[in-house]
Structure 1
């Protein structure tokens, strides 16, 4: 594993193009964009439009201080094949016009895979931020995306030691791999004083004790029978504690059809911006989720996290954090234990995974600057 070089700030002539398309990408990209700006690196942000309404996209740019996208491809939704094909056509046009020195991709969404494929075929170097994460569940589209992207990437920026191990097991050259920490945590720590739970509680009229829920993955929201079972369990939990759930557009129709909001102690919200959402998580007694990013954020915030999945690509959140993989039948009992003060344990800012210290963006910028000059 290569270590990030320590170099003085210096300008680079080749342009770096960041590819972002969905809300988790924005949170990860913000500290990298800022750190490269500190070094005088010429850069551009291409927004693919995979997430396209204000609550899922534009609000993140405003809150995180990201520069306005230089390009918005406006691809929108569609099947995996339709969306990925449209992304590749639009990105190929941009890359040919710009001839970037590096293309930086984030996470595991379709925009990430499409950009890596196009750049590799055009012989443009690719850097993958959040490389090496593995759920070992090939039924997840994200697992396919991240595995292919890592094989195509010239630089693999890993957030945890086990991610480095996965890349080694898959034959990725050690010189391509850099353990840099987690840029999503950079963003959280940079905004920590903005997560004012009391102010949010007053503004949204939240109860003193509540559970936050957020569910959107296909395994949880695509099958009406599974959704109905989840709703029954959440209603059982709501008999004892209020549930506040910002509803992802992907699962809204399914949850509404199953009657999730019919329980008087279940409150459904529209998607929230970054600051409001993390504040909602920070103030919760516990979180029920299937989101990878939320698993990481609760590890830092010390909030018990119950992940409704059979696996996670972020096992470090279990070994270092407050996360536990659960099935729906476990929810009522585990939530009751947490409310009784006998829950999953807690963490502090000092008890976190290696290099989750708010400096990942600068480490990534240092490696990229050394490659560009």
Structure 2
């Protein structure tokens, strides 16, 4: 039976980080969360998404899913179990902030079957953490110490993933690598690391259906962090170090120990069926992409749901993008692309041939969007 994968969006946070672009609100109100979880459970139980009911993964993303109490997480999983069959090797991931890492929570999560925890660290620089709306290095270290004690207590492996961002204010050149070295030298249980780059992004403008508006971070950040021209060098040094520690890049931003990759991420990149529940959640079922409204009022009424059938051309474009970001272009894909451009990018050391595939070089990573446009 083909597996389906499931994304659950929890939009609540203690406070909204200044770099966050996802559907989230920076406040926690008990009644609002209870209303949301009740509606989410109803959404799951009343949904009808086709043939496969075997779940290969469940991913609690946000927002900050760890802001839910343990009963609320249990209720969501109970609703999913009433609707779907859980694969015997199902991956259940939960995103958490360091402040929600407590022994009581970890034991409850493990009892519920959660076997992958992703912690948004971003930096160990206290000035950077304060500027982006996070707490402190001391709190991060305390959370990792608690996890270490927890893993010894349960005596079984759980995937622990940590996130970092290149380009945050007050973080000097080499600062992210120093933080990663410090953590990996002290905490041997880390088996997955995500490294992102701080970038501007675009959102559809509120007052028009056609234009997009550039979203930037506080102007002061441009002078407080390293220039974008140094991002590639920072990334390359981090990648080199992680490879020396037996982490491999299974996607441009994601590094894991052997067999510790995120199943949910890989399913998304492989165009597997993704169920999506919650505010602003994005799903993909039988080549139809859909998105729930990111406005509470519309979401509660079941309104504002966007759906589109992905054309063969768009699907091909996505395969080019995802394959370049992950294991490389397969022959049946790159043979349909502009061969002169491929040859040129290989000469410029932006692409290279490896085991019958065309893959990105470190130099090509920051030019990925440009490379894709030219190849098509």
Is the structural similarity TM-score above 0.5?
no
Structure with greater proportional helix content = 1
Return the TM-score normalized by structure 1.
0.31
Larger relative CO (CA 8 A, sep 6+): 1 or 2?
1
